[in-house]
Structure 1
Amino acid sequence: MKVKMLYWVDEVGGRAESMEIELKPFGYRTAPITQWEVLIAAEDVEVEKGKPVIVRVEPVFLPGNTLVGPLSIMRHALGTLVDVVECGVPGRVEDEKCISRVLFLPVEDGVIKKGDMVGVLKVFYIKTGLLTRILGLEPPKVELKKGFHEAKIVWRDNGNIYREPAKVTILGYMRSHIGVWELLVADETVRVKRGDVLRIRIKEVRLPPNTVVVPLPVMRNAFGTVLDVVQLGKPSRVEEEKTLHQAIFLAVEDGVIEEGDLIGVINVYYVGLGDFKPLVQDKPPEKVRIVYRSGDGIVKREVEVEPFGYRRSPVGKWEALIADESKPVRYGEPVVVKVKRVRVPPKTILYPLHIMRHAYGTVADVFCDCKPWKVEEGGEIKKVVFLPVMDGEIKEGELLGIINLHDVELSPLGRVRQWLDNWLTEMGRTFDEGDWPLW
């Protein structure tokens, strides 16, 4: 399949050109290990709440055959990392990469200072192949980087901003591909307007040690999407317990979010780092109110959600998000764009392929004007929420982004505990064989 890609020739905001690229039906297998890379501001930047900004960072060089994604739970007091920008033309996942800028979305006015840690990047190692052959692929061998970065950790507490110099160790961790879902339920009533970027108080979500979180794509509320979650005070490390207090919400239309409304869902994955102990706790079913658009109206309905977990396949595939209409975009104003239909099979979860793929912005989420589908049912992507970083026009046929699709096996929490016990045994055997950290 051939598509058009609009990119910046030199600098972001400089000269844009379009080229035709061919997308082949490829998939991939991931290695069971992930590396972190620290993203450190290379300049002072004044930021304004709700106005996305491109920030230069100290260059991060990555090998070929890698995917990247931000480590969620807001890492800077002033906002969150939405996407990263490659040096020059966005390349293929098989190519070596250089990350030189990030797309940062502020939730407060202020100044990002040179040396601030603005985010952390997860680096996934993969081996690619045609879809007909990926089941037979072996995971790639990986050698982790070692070392540390000096950066300033920036957080807010009781209205004050603190900057603390720190030596941030470059780490890797074992991925279990086992996770549970946690609901993000509004704990206050808030009026929102299209384009607002808000920190909405949520019913507290307690996370056990050795977990990482990822927002579950497919917009879960008619008025907007959750981009990240917030832990008040100084950020905790991955290997520590955490409590989430707020969600960063991007409004795509005017409306009112009421206390008790479901505004999003997060994946909570268990990872091997330090003294790992699986802590999957039993939970009762949870009653929430789902809010979705049906035709020209908004539907609000009470539902009961059973606690479930899942085991994700290490094999994935890509689907392109291609504009199915031309549409003008304005800086900082999220816009809904029709895309060519993408069928999501039952028992499939999505994960964005990060690195900004369009010159004018990035895809913040996907959705359809319908009741959000359950993972076990599958559905169709017909539209995306696009966050522009400058004025311009999206043209029909242009590549807006790419989404990763992974099969999952769903299960009640009791079986999830069994999966984790088995994974711990396997991980211990790997350490005993002395292969760590090579795969």
Structure 2
Amino acid sequence: MKAAMTYWLDEIGGKIGRSETELKPFGYRMAPVTQWEILISEENIKVEKGKPVILRVKPVDIPENTMVGPLSIMRHALGIVKDVVECGIPGRVEDAKCINRVLFIPVEDGEIKKDDLVGVLKVFYIRTGMLSKLLGLNPPKVELRKHVSEANITWRDNGNIYRERAKIEAFGYTRSHIGVWETLIADEDVSVRKGDVVRIRIREVKLPPSTVVVPLSIMRHACGTVLDVVELGKPRKVEEEKRIKQAVFLAVEDGKIEKGDLIGVINVYYVGLTGVRSIIEDKVPERVRLVYRKGEKIIRKEVTVEPFGYVRSPVARWEALIADETRELRYGEPVVVRVKKIRVPPNTVIYPLQIMRHAYGSVADIFCDHPPWKVEEGGEIRKVVFLPLLDGEVREGELLGVLNFYSVEISPIGKVRQWLNNWIDEMGKTFAEPNWPIW
């Protein structure tokens, strides 16, 4: 399959380059460890709520055969890092990379200061191969590196912004590939306009120690999509318990979110370094209100969500999002773009492949104008939500982004707890090895 790539030849907003690329059916196997890299602002910049900006950060060199993605849970008092920008023309995952800019979406007006911590980058080590040969691939050899950076940690409390200078130790974690789903239920009524980026109060979600979260792709509410979640107060470490009380929501169209609406779902993954404990609490079925579009109508439907978890395969494949129409873009105004149809098999979870793939913006989520399909059922991708950073256009045949497809085995919480206990036993032996943290 062929697609056109667009990129900035010099500075963002300057001259655009276009080239045609051949997309081959490739996938990869992941190493079971993830490295952290710190994203620190290189400039003072005033930001306006809901107006995305490209922010310069201290350059981060990423080795070859890696993928990256921002660590979720808002890390700066004024907003979130949604994506990252590579120096020069976007390369392949097999190539070494340099990250020197991020796509920052403000949730409040204010000023980001030089040396502010704006986010944390996860670096995944992979070995690529043709789809027919993935099962025979061995994961790459990895050594986690510990390094310390100085930066300003920021947070909000009662409307005030606080900054604290701190030494931040970046290391990483081992991945279990075991997770549970947590629903994000609105705890207030909120009216939104297309393009709004708002913090919505949700029913509290308690996250156990040694967990990381990732929003579950596919738009879950007719009005828009959840970009991230928010922990109030001073940011906590991954190894600490957290309580999530707000979600960052991007409105794709005008409408109203009502108390009790399901606005999103997060994947909660269990990770660790040296002190992993099994903390999976029993859960009861939950009544939620689905809100979805059917033709010109908005449907509100009460459903029961059963508590389930899953184990994810370390082997995955990529699917390209290629525009199937030409659309005009306006800065900061999300647009729904039709893409070439992609079939999602049953028991598959989807994540975006980060590093901005189009010169004019980034894919925010998969658009859904029908009842969201269940993971165990699968479905079809026909449209995406694209967030423009500049006025311009998306042309038919252009590459908008890339998705990671992971197979999962879904089970009740009791079985998930058993999987996690087995993984913890294995990790205990690994941590005791004399060559740890080399994997």
Q: TM-score range by the shorter chain?
A: over 0.9
What amino acid sits opposite 1:334 in the alignment?
A: P
Which residue is 2:232 aligned to?
Answer: 232
Cα shift at 1:143 = 1.6
Which residue is 1:98 aligned to?
Answer: 98
Which residue is 1:176 aligned to?
Answer: 176
What amino acid sits opposite 2:170 in the alignment?
A: I
Which residue is 1:107 aligned to?
Answer: 107
Which residue is 1:289 aligned to?
Answer: 289
- The 8 Å contact of residues 336 and 367 in structure 2, kept in 1 or not, is answered as no
Which residue is 1:150 aligned to?
Answer: 150
Which residue is 2:358 aligned to?
Answer: 358
Cα shift at 1:429 = 1.5
Cα shift at 1:124 = 0.3
Which residue is 2:267 aligned to?
Answer: 267
Which consecutive residues of structure 1, in runs of 5 or more, have no partner in the other structure?
Answer: none
Cα shift at 1:299 = 0.7
Q: Secondary structure at the match of 1:132?
A: helix
What amino acid sits opposite 1:156 in the alignment?
A: R
Cα shift at 1:204 = 0.3
What amino acid sits opposite 2:104 in the alignment?
A: F
Question: Which moved further from structure 2: 428-437 or 317-326?
Answer: 428-437
Cα shift at 1:215 = 0.2
Which residue is 1:55 aligned to?
Answer: 55
User: In the alignment, does 2:146 pair up with 1:141?
Assistant: no
Which residue is 1:216 aligned to?
Answer: 216
- The 8 Å contact of residues 274 and 431 in structure 2, kept in 1 or not, is answered as no
User: In the alignment, does 2:11 pair up with 1:16?
Assistant: no
Cα shift at 1:278 = 1.2
The 1-side partners of 2:436 and 2:181 are apart by 30
Cα shift at 1:435 = 3.3
- The 8 Å contact of residues 39 and 58 in structure 2, kept in 1 or not, is answered as yes
The 2-side partners of 1:42 and 1:392 are apart by 27
- The 8 Å contact of residues 192 and 256 in structure 1, kept in 2 or not, is answered as yes
The 1-side partners of 2:100 and 2:231 are apart by 27
- The 8 Å contact of residues 116 and 152 in structure 1, kept in 2 or not, is answered as yes
Cα shift at 1:431 = 2.0
What amino acid sits opposite 1:211 in the alignment?
A: T
Q: Secondary structure at the match of 2:111?
A: strand
- The 8 Å contact of residues 368 and 380 in structure 1, kept in 2 or not, is answered as no
* Alpha-carbon displacement from aligned partner over 1:406-429 (angstroms, at most 9, x marks no partner): 000000000111001100111112
The 2-side partners of 1:351 and 1:195 are apart by 22
Cα shift at 1:246 = 0.3
User: In the alignment, does 2:245 pair up with 1:245?
Assistant: yes
What amino acid sits opposite 1:229 in the alignment?
A: V
Q: Secondary structure at the match of 1:424?
A: helix
Which residue is 1:424 aligned to?
Answer: 424
What amino acid sits opposite 1:82 in the alignment?
A: K
Q: Secondary structure at the match of 1:244?
A: strand
User: In the alignment, does 2:337 pair up with 1:337?
Assistant: yes
The 2-side partners of 1:131 and 1:248 are apart by 36
The 2-side partners of 1:146 and 1:196 are apart by 39
Q: Secondary structure at the match of 2:153?
A: strand
User: In the alignment, does 2:403 pair up with 1:412?
Assistant: no
Which residue is 2:349 aligned to?
Answer: 349
Q: Secondary structure at the match of 1:4?
A: strand
Q: Secondary structure at the match of 2:343?
A: strand
The 2-side partners of 1:433 and 1:98 are apart by 33
* Alpha-carbon displacement from aligned partner over 1:198-224 (angstroms, at most 9, x marks no partner): 000000000000000000000000100
Which residue is 1:124 aligned to?
Answer: 124
Q: Secondary structure at the match of 2:437?
A: coil
Q: Please, what is the CA RMSD of the aligned residues?
A: 0.7
Q: Secondary structure at the match of 2:431?
A: helix
Cα shift at 1:112 = 0.3
The 2-side partners of 1:392 and 1:145 are apart by 41
* Alpha-carbon displacement from aligned partner over 1:309-344 (angstroms, at most 9, x marks no partner): 000000000000000000000000000000000110
The 2-side partners of 1:146 and 1:162 are apart by 27
Q: Secondary structure at the match of 2:226?
A: strand
User: In the alignment, does 2:395 pair up with 1:395?
Assistant: yes
- The 8 Å contact of residues 224 and 250 in structure 1, kept in 2 or not, is answered as yes
* Alpha-carbon displacement from aligned partner over 1:268-309 (angstroms, at most 9, x marks no partner): 000013421111000110000000111111111000000000
- The 8 Å contact of residues 220 and 368 in structure 2, kept in 1 or not, is answered as no
Cα shift at 1:434 = 2.4
Q: Secondary structure at the match of 1:276?
A: coil
The 1-side partners of 2:143 and 2:234 are apart by 31
Which consecutive residues of structure 2, in runs of 5 or more, have no partner in the other structure?
Answer: none
- The 8 Å contact of residues 239 and 274 in structure 1, kept in 2 or not, is answered as no
Q: Secondary structure at the match of 1:428?
A: helix
Q: Secondary structure at the match of 2:59?
A: strand
- The 8 Å contact of residues 353 and 404 in structure 1, kept in 2 or not, is answered as yes
What amino acid sits opposite 1:405 in the alignment?
A: F
The 1-side partners of 2:190 and 2:146 are apart by 45
Cα shift at 1:367 = 2.5
Q: TM-score, normalised by structure 1?
A: 0.99
Which residue is 1:37 aligned to?
Answer: 37
Cα shift at 1:10 = 1.0
The 1-side partners of 2:194 and 2:130 are apart by 41
Which residue is 1:25 aligned to?
Answer: 25
The 2-side partners of 1:187 and 1:59 are apart by 39
Q: Secondary structure at the match of 1:178?
A: strand
Q: Secondary structure at the match of 2:92?
A: coil
The 2-side partners of 1:382 and 1:289 are apart by 24
- The 8 Å contact of residues 285 and 306 in structure 1, kept in 2 or not, is answered as yes
What amino acid sits opposite 2:427 in the alignment?
A: M
Which residue is 1:312 aligned to?
Answer: 312
Identity of aligned residues (%): 70
